[in-house]
A and B are shown apart, each in its own frame.
Chain A
């Protein structure tokens, strides 16, 4: 965090100064470790074993927050008799279909629920087919991503519970059995973390959780960029729910994002499979709005997702204005549909197959920043046109003349027909707008200076492109053009002809009343949204950011003027409804009293008959703790007075995920796609549902389960340095930053340096089945070899900021060129935080010799298209 988020890290230092204990778990000793109380070096790709070990420690020693767990989680809920755990199936869950590499998840359902029905919702719920086709299709559209906020469906909210937590099929007992083998000894064997050190972490985390104290977990892409990335986060979610650290001050799980507004770009998404506010993208089979809404949530479930019709209708009204009517499904038919995986990596492969004509890159440099850089560059060379909007002529804009593939002869400039349009972009200080950060807080920024020359804001670019497109299509009567022509497209302030107003956009996002006396008044909360076309709103979770016609995100009241430093509710605005801590009903006990005075956040005021406190209550404000819904009640009305997780279909925190995840209801440790270590926990080596691509241009190093793996004996991981920003577009062109870290380097331990004859400041060549890159060597005690079950595993650290090009102030080989593509099935994120490689002293060959050099490695390791692609690795008898 100190490395990549130095500004946010000031608060960790502040907490430390007040007595907080800071534990840093990372393969390398980094700038964060340098100021932490404890550093835990672990093997890249082994975190689930570590987290699972903590879960077992909590359960074995009965250190969970019993009242919290019983009342607020699904610990007491019974699971279907059909469910079989990894304990029974040697690393698989029940429902695995080897033919498709997917699970039929129906057996993971709650007792009395039909998983297939509930998962599919009302429309396409034709019953579980069990042939995995449906799950394969879900993976194709990264279905897990849609659940990023809304949680998974349940057919209804009635569940069978055993409040004593003793029933063998209640979640807590399932959890106990599942993690039974995650002993401290196994953690040591898998992660290379000495038992004593691991137990020190367990003790610190549990001692610091309970009524009086809370613990927070902070993660970043070191957790997400794995073929089991989603399950890493689930691991910490289970720990936090068991310890009662959710919905309470000082608790939670914080995702640190890679850029200033990555949170904003998922809320109002740049992702292919979601609409604003985590509504799913319509699919081809959704003929009508009704079909679509039926797939979002079942009317029988609890919580606010049952209000999706209001959120969706308001979104359509914001986009299409008066043209959206009840008669035309509010323009639902004009929305584009998806029919499969259109994620970034699939799109690149579609480019290679000449299925994609054009590509927009906005502040993204895939030639350097995306995994398997060669495939990215080769893909772009197949395009007809490419638009790059960036601050500088990044490598993705100049690949046609200076890509590494030009040097090797794989590409020739004169053969590349891609027409590249470069648009200089305004920086964040040259335009107004909001940032949404990891706390979901929107902060409005004023424009400080005008952009230089031809540089313009994204808003300017898209507004005028939309304007010109609409002019081109004006008068068209073709049905397919009506969506474009019907859009509301009025973002210019009166008298302005050039720069659109971000303020007007934010107003549209907030939404307003459209009918009656209140017509034109901004909505104050998403609860006011209607499904009858009388309200608009461009992103339901952002509704309230313009409450009372005031830009709430622009508020800058210092905490000193707000009576205290820790919530400061009048600084910016946090979605939803300016809540600073989500699910904060859980900060009070089932009767509505704070668990402790020290950790009081919101509570039930019996006299006033409402929830009150320091934060905006994340609960129906007048619903008493003792309230129990009548039988059959659903939606928000179905929430009991002690159901704090109001977006979940049963109002409870999910220790066990009965639906929604495609690779298991509980996190299980799987080795990375490329690993030098055999999975010590199960016969199943890696995530059996990961998405691989069997292609000649996407070859994998042999995993330990296949011959030839000794050719690539080392683990490498990638990361950022404080001095640079991601793929370098904002730092490698800046002399003052470039001189601080001028060259691509690899970090190795003295032990590996000796083993391979690497010299400090000398050169090293790092090789995988994809390519070889060269880096300067930094030998450091900060990297330690780990003892993994008697074998020494060396790890190599590679910062990924450099790229091969001709325009940057400093350049170098790109670490991301080393990766093969293997994706998490839930959200299709690439595994680029753990893979295998070889390292040799000296510089790499250049020109066509590089290809021959890598080919030699491949043939020595016996790499074919099939290498590493066997998803199921169980012995025949078991499978």
Chain B
């Protein structure tokens, strides 16, 4: 373990005791091994079933098999599907030697991205504004030269291909910006080291939404009295109620390939490091862990990942920093400034009186 942070605002620490829990159980978390995710979305469904999260839109997004879009107030697990004209280690995609032309993935990914951006609001994913289609998109220019026989242009054939799948979730940061800024105490640190919203206390102020460096927490869109918890900040609770009963979270329980693993964070980290070594030995040097480092900008996360490429590929920030990291320094400076001003003012009065 590297040096400990000087305050509980930054650096490595065990969050539950730090939050005042005595005799807290070992910190719990997720290790999501995306290398064995098969994109079945059982985690999304199990999460919604257990937590009674409402269905939030019957929209086809045209973004590979992802019709969920992103994490949000009504999506606490989200499986990303990434199609790219790149090789995945020694995997043989089987396209070499076929009549395939140049790849379309990059253009398709851009159009899918543009369909998603700009439509997420502070009130969650507004389905009505997500309407996408040919009218909104315009023709998809696949960027290919016209040709009679696909693949007849030398060097234009696509050969490499990979389809990455990854189930994203709230990271349950060691230093959780959402929790730090919550004025009502609706967000709290549990004895398991996780971060949970109490929907009956949240007043929907929305401070937590921009405070999350991952863009996870959101307020639920919908009409009050119609949609459950409309306007209330919502996110993964790591199934706090199940943990209390000694059960594992619904998503981990439902995952058929053990891509989502639940357990004591220390043990999960050890397991994950072995798995990375194994992946490297299998010829996938790009395999890496994401969020497991207690010295990163959020003090390490409780739900970390094994990724097969840079985090950006999966839509994850490469170097997340807790938005409240600089608060102590800022307060210090503000206090100093205030004291200086006060001293100045006193000096003025004292001086003026002379």
Contacts and interface: CB of A to CB of B under 8 A. Distances in A.
B144 interface: yes
A781 B83 contact: yes
A760 B49 contact: no
A31 interface: yes
B250 to A, nearest CB: 12
Contacts of B62: 760-761, 776, 778
Given A31-B40, A750-B103, A197 B97 contact: yes
Given A723-B41, A759-B139, A780-B108, A785 B100 contact: yes
Contacts of B164: 34
A136 to B, nearest CB: 42
Contacts of B68: 739-740
Nearest to A744: B60
A742 interface: yes
A271 interface: no
B323 interface: no
A457 interface: no
A781 B103 contact: yes
B163 A6 contact: no
A9 B149 contact: no
B41 A740 contact: yes
B67 A34 contact: no
B105 interface: yes
Contact of A787 (B40, B56, B98, B133): B98
Interface string A524-546: 00000000000000000000000
Contacts of A192: 98-99
A41 B95 contact: yes
Interface of B is mostly: loop
Given A29-B161, A741-B67, A38 B94 contact: yes
Interface stretch (B84-92, B201-209, B234-242, B294-302): B84-92
A763 B103 CA distance: 21
A754 B38 contact: no
B93 to A, nearest CB: 6
Interface string B141-159: 0101010011100000010
B63 to A, nearest CB: 9
B256 A760 contact: no
Q: Which of A721, A762, A776 gathers the greatest number of chain B CB atoms within 10 Å?
A: A762
A760 B137 contact: yes
A745 B62 CA distance: 10
Interface residues of A, number: 62
Interface in A191-211: 192-197, 200
A792 B100 CA distance: 9
Contact of B94 (A7, A197, A760, A792): A197
B257 interface: yes
B55 A736 contact: yes
Contacts of B139: 759
A784 B60 contact: no
Interface string A10-53: 10010001000000000001011111111111000000000000
Nearest to B127: A739
Q: Which of A17, A195, A761 gathers the greatest number of chain B CB atoms within 10 Å?
A: A761
B94 A29 contact: yes
Given A739-B57, A750-B144, A780 B104 contact: yes
Given A2-B38, A197-B97, A751-B150, A759 B134 contact: yes
Given A743-B60, A759-B139, A785 B98 contact: yes
Interface string B21-40: 00000000000000010111
Nearest to A7: B256
Contact of A736 (B49, B65, B144): B49
A738 interface: yes
Contacts of A35: 36, 38
A193 B95 CA distance: 9
A186 interface: no
A18 to B, nearest CB: 11
Contact of B161 (A38, A194, A737, A782): A782
A296 interface: no
A674 B48 CA distance: 44
B260 interface: no
Given A735-B55, A759-B134, A787-B151, A753 B104 contact: yes
Interface string A759-782: 111110000000000001011111
A786 interface: yes
A749 interface: yes
B8 interface: no
B45 A736 contact: yes
Nearest to B258: A10
A709 B164 CA distance: 39
Interface in B110-168: 111-112, 115, 132-134, 137, 139-140, 142, 144, 146, 149-151, 158, 161-165
B140 A759 contact: yes
A779 B64 CA distance: 9
A723 B96 CA distance: 30
A739 B55 contact: yes
A810 interface: yes
B59 interface: yes
A722 interface: yes
Contacts of B39: 2, 31, 34, 722
A738 B58 contact: yes
Nearest to B45: A736
B44 interface: yes
B85 A779 contact: no
B19 to A, nearest CB: 33
Contacts of A721: 65
Given A197-B96, A741-B67, A759 B150 contact: no
Contacts of B140: 753, 759-760, 779
Contact of A39 (B49, B64, B93): B93
Contacts of B56: 739
B31 to A, nearest CB: 15
B177 interface: no
Contacts of B151: 785, 787
B303 interface: no
Interface string A488-507: 00000000000000000000
A760 B108 contact: yes
B101 interface: yes
Interface in B57-86: 57-62, 64-65, 67-68, 83, 85
A721 B143 CA distance: 29
B42 interface: yes
Q: Which of A10, A40, A739, A754 gathers the greatest number of chain B CB atoms within 10 Å?
A: A739
A786 B38 contact: no
A736 B68 CA distance: 11
Contacts of A10: 256-258
Interface string B274-297: 000000000000000000000000
Contact of A781 (B58, B112, B158, B257): B158
A740 B83 contact: no
A65 B258 CA distance: 37
A715 to B, nearest CB: 13
B129 to A, nearest CB: 16
A733 to B, nearest CB: 12
B158 A763 contact: no
Nearest to B164: A34
Contacts of B101: 750-751, 785
Given A31-B165, A750-B103, A760-B108, A745 B60 contact: yes
6 contacts: A6-B38, A13-B36, A31-B39, A738-B58, A740-B44, A740-B68
Interface of A: 2, 6-7, 9-10, 13, 17, 29, 31-41, 192-197, 200, 721-723, 735-743, 745, 749-751, 753-754, 759-763, 776, 778-782, 784-787, 792, 809-810
Given A192-B98, A750-B103, A779-B108, 7 more contacts: A6-B38, A33-B94, A197-B96, A742-B58, A742-B59, A761-B137, A762-B134
- The 10 tightest CB contacts between A and B, nearest first, are A194-B97, A750-B104, A761-B62, A735-B55, A751-B150, A34-B163, A762-B134, A742-B58, A6-B40, A787-B99
